[in-house]
Amino acid sequence: MEFNVLNKPPDFLFSAGANYKITPKLTSSLTAYAQGDYYVERTNSLTGQFGDYYWLNMAFDYQVTQTVSLNLQVKNLTDQDSEYVWDYDMTGNTRHSEADGRTVYGAITVRY
């Protein structure tokens, strides 16, 4: 008897990260995420597999004073293309939602 792979769960999920204190006031972090591909419908034959990706995110935090800190983040550092794919009606008509490419964020935090 042959069974189909469950639709939606990816083949694998992975995440790992590291933080490093460069100076007493400056901290950096690097985080890696990866996901295997997955089937979007239960027959495993109408659409093929989608969804595999890897991402690297990097961040820096700088403590300006006891109450003020600055944060810089770069998401998807390698600018990897990725998307979420689904099939609402299980007919092979897939919908695709692209993820953001490389994105930079900044923040100022004030504690009082």
> Residues of the chain with pLDDT > 70: what percent?
97
Of residues 108 and 8, more confidence is placed in 108
pLDDT reading at 14 higher than 70: yes
d(C-alpha 47, C-alpha 74), whole Å: 33
Position 6 scores a pLDDT of 74
pLDDT reading at 92 higher than 80: no
pLDDT reading at 89 higher than 80: no
pLDDT reading at 42 higher than 60: yes
| pLDDT tens digit sequence for 56-79 | 999 999 999 999 999 999 999 999
Residue 60: both structure tokens together: 């820096």
Position 2 scores a pLDDT of 66
Q: Which residues contact 98 (CB under 8 A, 6 or more apart)?
A: 81, 82, 83
